[in-house]
Amino acid sequence: MREPLIEKLSQIVGGEHVVINESRLDEISWDALSEGRLHPEKKPATVLPLCVVLPGSAGEVREIVLLANEEKVPIIPYGGGSGLMGGALSIRPGIVVDLRRMDRILEVDGAARSVRVETGSVLESVEKRLNENGFILGHDPWTLPVATVGGAISTNSMGYRGGLYGSMGEQVLGLDAVLPNGEILHTRPVGKHSAGIDLNALLIGGEGCFGIITEATVRIFPKPEKRALSALAFESFEQGYAAIQKIFARGLTPAVVDFGDDDEKHHGGAVLYLGFEGNKEIVEAEERLALPICEQGGGRRLPQEQAEEFWRTRHVIARRFMQNRRQRRERGRDGVYRDWIHVALPGSKVLPFRTAAMEIVERHGVHLQESGLWLQPELFSMRLGAEDGGNRDAQLALEEAVYELLRLVQKMGGSMEYTHGVGVKLAPLMAEEHGYGLEVMRRIKRALDPNNIMNPGKMGI
């Protein structure tokens, strides 16, 4: 079956854009989810894809989708492959559709404050082009140099400045997508409409299960006149959390809130990187109001160089990831399994959750390495570690702890994940997350994808 399929795909995209080299197939069969972060009893088997195709246009994407329907072969949409949940993992032999040849920036419309791009465009290249025109993208994740616009929309990703500009999904005005049945969805690129339900939402956070996004029109922002970044040390997580709550209660809008109590780095205390950006007068006014709130709440200003270093090095980890993808896949490195949770909770529940979480973590024999907040007081993270005793117990203990923590988040009215998506990692928890909502997603999926070809086995649908 493989040879005739490859022949037909070559006719669509050209033979030079069909990859069958085994080492390349192996590399692209994974994204940035490491084996050590999968629950050992719930992890799916992975396989080599049949091939990778690199289409050059939406028309070619459509032909690939029609062919996949005819042949009943799965498709796995692939952007930068930096997803952390296994959304782009190959778990059934299929066609990986690598969008990165579709990387044209089609139009920067300054008056409309929008950019129209092909979705294989890497975020950093969009950012550079916008900077030349006096704008910024706004979306600025760690993985700016590797993630694509399509991947960022499909995971509804958040970035460092998301406090001001929102998530990638919130920036989407309109998009074009090839649906699993080969039909084209085009939504109008406007900031607001009241003409039926929002069909962008079918693709935002859809992890390639509801179609392949080929083009997107995204809100952009004027280059900030000023950025004011500070680093502040607090005696405890609770003390810093209270100050952050007060900043928001005062109606201020920090672009950057990066707060954590990493014990190795902060020795019992917690550090907040706080940033405002935009119009000079507004930034100065917001900073004048926010810093005294922090200082009255026990915050101590750290040297400005520390804040600048934090900002300068924010994408370094992504460049390291690009150089060493295979190593990342391996289970527990340095004899330590690591995992983390990034959850959304009502602000009133964050501290009670943290207290309850510590008991859970201890009971499972897992170490809590850091608690943190990103962007808003509601977006809470924990980084956990478990030492490998030479068998799978550590990994099992770690993942059991993660599952219990996420179930507690759901019980407390929160959501189990706010930035990385579901993929295969969190798929087993989707029924508890959504209740009948999961059935709604499954019915939409069945209606649009009767042959179940579009990224099957992901997101629990």
Ligand X SMILES: Cc1cc2nc3c(=O)[nH]c(=O)nc-3n(C[C@H](O)[C@H](O)[C@H](O)COP(=O)(O)OP(=O)(O)OC[C@H]3O[C@@H](n4cnc5c(N)ncnc54)[C@H](O)[C@@H]3O)c2cc1C
Q: Which is nearer to ligand X, 140 or 286 (CB)?
A: 140
**In whole angstroms, what is the distance from residue 137 CA to residue 9 CA?**
34
- Here's the x/- map for ligand X, 187-226, by CB under 6 A: it reads as --------------------xx---xx-------------
Cα maximum dimension of the chain: 71
**In whole angstroms, what is the distance from residue 121 CA to residue 218 CA?**
12
Q: Supply the DSSP symbol for 80.
A: S
To ligand X, the closest distance from the beta carbon of 387 in angstroms equals: 23
**For tokens 């950025």, what's the residue?**
227
Q: Does 283 bind ligand X (CB under 6 A)?
A: no
**In whole angstroms, what is the distance from residue 366 CA to residue 152 CA?**
31
Which residues is 186 bridged to in the sheet?
A: 176
Q: Which of 79, 260, 278, 456 binds ligand X (CB under 6 A)?
A: 79
To ligand X, the closest distance from the beta carbon of 454 in angstroms equals: 9
Q: Which is nearer to ligand X, 328 or 364 (CB)?
A: 328
Number of residues that bind ligand X (CB under 6 A): 39
- Here's the x/- map for ligand X, 442-461, by CB under 6 A: it reads as -------------x--x---
Q: Does 99 bind ligand X (CB under 6 A)?
A: yes
Which region among 152-160, 187-195, 303-311, 377-385 touches ligand X (by CB under 6 A)?
A: 152-160
Q: Does 151 bind ligand X (CB under 6 A)?
A: yes
Q: Which is nearer to ligand X, 155 or 395 (CB)?
A: 155
Q: Between the CA of residue 287 and those of 148, 238, 247, 292, 341, what are the distances in Å? A: 33, 22, 10, 9, 30
Q: Which of 261, 400, 419, 457 binds ligand X (CB under 6 A)?
A: 419
**In whole angstroms, what is the distance from residue 397 CA to residue 338 CA?**
11
Q: Does 80 bind ligand X (CB under 6 A)?
A: yes
To ligand X, the closest distance from the beta carbon of 440 in angstroms equals: 20
Residue of minimal Cβ distance to ligand X: 151
Q: Which two tokens stand for residue 392?
A: 């799978």
**In whole angstroms, what is the distance from residue 124 CA to residue 314 CA?**
13
Q: Between the CA of residue 442 and those of 28, 70, 292, what are the distances in Å? A: 27, 22, 50
**In whole angstroms, what is the distance from residue 132 CA to residue 115 CA?**
13
**For tokens 């993992």, what's the residue?**
89
Residues that bind ligand X (CB under 6 A): 31-32, 76-84, 87-88, 99, 119, 141-143, 147-148, 150-152, 154-155, 157-159, 207-208, 212-213, 317-318, 321, 419-420, 455, 458
